[in-house]
Structure 1
Amino acid sequence: MMLEDDLRATLRERAEEPAPAPDLLDAVRGGVRRADRRRAAVLGAAAVLVAVVAVPVAIAGGRPSPPAPQGSAPATGWQRPRLDLPLFPLTPGWAPPGLGTGRVGRVGPTLLLTYEDSADRSLELSVGPEPGDWGAEGEDRAATVHGRPATVRTLDAEIYEGNRPGDRYVGVRWQLADGRWVQLGSSSRNTESEMLRFANGLRLQAMPPSPLPFTVATAPPGLVLQVMTENYMCLAPPASLADGDSGHGLCIGLGTAAPDDEPSPEDEQLTVRGEPATLETSDRGPVALTVRLDAQRLLSVTVEQNDLILTRDQLIRFAEGITVPG
């Protein structure tokens, strides 16, 4: 299972948990992740917003609380964030046929390049200061990539949720001359020879950045892009860029809602921009705001109060300024 698959699974599973944990992707160091990684802060409750016109937040049920501020004027000192999009430092010279265009992302200091196609062929590449996680035990053998020592790991990929009979996991790990670790993983039908051909075709040339998965109208000042994948991103204090765990600061995620999802009676029920929403609060303050965009989709905003202290109204205000492309 690749990073984006796990994020989607986490979004579904998080709705069943009573409270979010602060570390969404604590095992993600690179492209290949643990199948049994702790589920966490991606989405207890989600936030949202497709319209640009502000709509007042109203209480629709649940415990009473003070009204949210009207409209989406920025809080004192808040501004539109200027985010540096990640540049992936390697450019492929060859990719398996039909794999499509890669998407650049990051998790802390680790940069990601992920591919998925309509035939469920997936590939994930990471470059970072630490070796990536293989995700499971398998068979290792020595190889070379660009003349440097490498390790190839293979195993049956059926252990990953969502994979099909006959899928295989193939991973390749090696170090660049500057000491950074590169890890390549595929858990579909890509073969070992294809993965080694892909690895040996990489060249030291930066790829253009990918667009943000969401746009943010206003946020606390000084935050940087700590995590970015196809449907998830976190804005956090600059010190978090050295941390390979995700879930720092303010995180936004888009996931799939289960038809029978029901909000907890302990949480506040409200509407945000005309959509039903749930606000989850801990003894330290708001934790997650979840909005059901439609029958299938949830958008959430979570805040890690250890990184960034926000009030209820500030979390709602941040959510009001988010736009979901498409």
Structure 2
Amino acid sequence: MTLEEDLRTTLQDRAARPSAHPDPDLWENVAAGVWRRRRRQRAAAIGSAALALIAVAVVPPLLTRSSAAPIPAVSVPPTADWEAPDWPPVVFPMRPSWVPPGAGTRSVSLLGPNTHLSYEREGSVLSAEVGPLVGSWEVEAEGTHTSTVNGRPAEVHVSSTYDGAGPGDEFVGVRWRLPDGRWVQVLSMGPRSEPDVLRFARGLTGGSIPGARPSFDFVAVPPGFTLQHESEGYTCVAPAATVPRDRNPSGGVCVQLLSELEPPVEPGMATTVNGRPAEFHSTTLTIELGRSRWLELAWDQDVTPLSSDEIVRLAAGITVRP
């Protein structure tokens, strides 16, 4: 019996009945890059019950023990049916001529066909996104008006408050379209004024900004799979046909590194990956790496075209960078 058949037998009755704990929503991890998740986590920490943190699948006591042993070498080479990935590095295709003082730490992410640039400091976020898909405003505007950015008509959204806002913080969003049809959107959540946000937006012209080195290496991926999302500590791969259609991770598998686990919602099925203890749940596979680290793979079981055996094979070919 294959792992797929074992898992189907074990989880069949659970999948058929409603659960008080919904499956993890992958989009909540990456809706506007890692900064949005961090902002929600900060808000939850001060008692904002309306903000939902991602539900992470966890393992029984067997997997909570830390080990100092090194991570085993990858043992799943590319084969005729699986491919060694050859993805270009993630690059934001603009470079701002001016960034507000104290904007914070810079990061570059991939959101489907769009690329995302953000600056973050102590809950304040300034971001820019460019690509063929229209981004999300993230905040309901109290007022809207028009402006121009480098000769192009632009829509401006403003609000005096938003979830997680501190004293003096406000939301400013600017969206416009480039001559080649791509959309550009700038969002500010923090102490910056509308004139400062427009100055930053108008300075987004030539140049580029490379993303950081990815957190994970994939030895082999299923045929037709490509990089769908990449941000700090979070990577998703999916069938190439789905990537141009959505900024959301969909139809693929998302990988992240965890440093802590929560109590399990329900029992899973034990297995091993590269000799490491692992646990299958209906939409996650969690692998103990040792040194209080766990690798988690998450997917939407209704749309991901991979079997459980293929999920394990994908996991066995992932190397976590130091």
**TM-score, scaled to structure 2:** 0.72
- In structure 2, what is the equivalent of residue 10 of structure 1? none
Residues 135-182 of structure 1 show CA distances to partners (whole Å, capped at 9, x for unaligned) of 23222232221122222222134x324x43332212111111222211
Between the aligned partners of 1:311 and 1:26, the Cα distance in structure 2 is: 23
More helix by percentage: 2
Distance 1:170 1:296, change over 3 A: farther
**Which secondary structure does the structure 2 equivalent of 1:90 belong to?**
coil
**Which secondary structure does the structure 1 equivalent of 2:116 belong to?**
strand
Query: Structure 2 counterpart of 1:148, which letter?
Result: R
Answer whether contact 1:236 1:307 (CA < 8 A) is retained: no
Task: Quote the offset at 1:200 in angstroms.
Answer: 1.1
Question: Which of residues 182, 189, 192 in structure 1 aligns to 2:191?
Answer: 189
Aligned residues: 283
Task: Quote the offset at 1:85 in angstroms.
Answer: 2.5
Between the aligned partners of 1:37 and 1:180, the Cα distance in structure 2 is: 32
Question: Which of residues 282, 299, 303 in structure 2 aligns to 1:303?
Answer: 299
Residues 1:108 and 2:112 are matched in the alignment: yes
Distance 1:72 1:312, change over 3 A: same
Between the aligned partners of 1:198 and 1:125, the Cα distance in structure 2 is: 9
Between the aligned partners of 1:164 and 1:273, the Cα distance in structure 2 is: 46
- In structure 2, what is the equivalent of residue 62 of structure 1? none
Answer whether contact 2:113 2:133 (CA < 8 A) is retained: no
Query: Structure 2 counterpart of 1:177, which letter?
Result: P
Residues 253-299 of structure 1 show CA distances to partners (whole Å, capped at 9, x for unaligned) of 235646xx222333124565676643113xxxxx3112466797653
Distance 1:246 1:310, change over 3 A: closer
1:185-264 counterparts in 2 under 5 A? 185-244=187-246, 245-255=248-258, 257=260, 261-264=262-265
**Which secondary structure does the structure 2 equivalent of 1:224 belong to?**
strand
Between the aligned partners of 1:53 and 1:109, the Cα distance in structure 2 is: 34
**Which secondary structure does the structure 1 equivalent of 2:159 belong to?**
strand
Percent identity for Structure 1 against Structure 2: 35
1:1-326 counterparts in 2 under 5 A? 17-20=21-24, 24=27, 28=31, 43-44=56-57, 51-54=70-73, 72=76, 77-100=81-104, 102-117=106-121, 119-138=122-141, 139-157=143-161, 159-161=162-164, 163-244=165-246, 245-255=248-258, 257=260, 261-270=262-271, 272=273, 277-281=278-282, 287-291=283-287, 298-305=294-301, 308-326=304-322
Answer whether contact 2:77 2:219 (CA < 8 A) is retained: no
Higher relative contact order (CA 8 A, sep 6+): 1
Distance 1:137 1:19, change over 3 A: closer
Between the aligned partners of 2:204 and 2:178, the Cα distance in structure 1 is: 11
**Which secondary structure does the structure 2 equivalent of 1:166 belong to?**
coil
Answer whether contact 1:31 1:125 (CA < 8 A) is retained: no
Between the aligned partners of 1:311 and 1:51, the Cα distance in structure 2 is: 28
Between the aligned partners of 2:105 and 2:140, the Cα distance in structure 1 is: 30
Query: Structure 2 counterpart of 1:323, which letter?
Result: T
Answer whether contact 1:84 1:225 (CA < 8 A) is retained: no
Distance 1:76 1:306, change over 3 A: farther
Task: Quote the offset at 1:132 in angstroms.
Answer: 2.0
Show structure 1 runs of 5+ residues with no match: 1-15, 56-70, 282-286
Residues 29-52 of structure 1 show CA distances to partners (whole Å, capped at 9, x for unaligned) of 899979889988x854699x9955
Distance 1:32 1:143, change over 3 A: farther
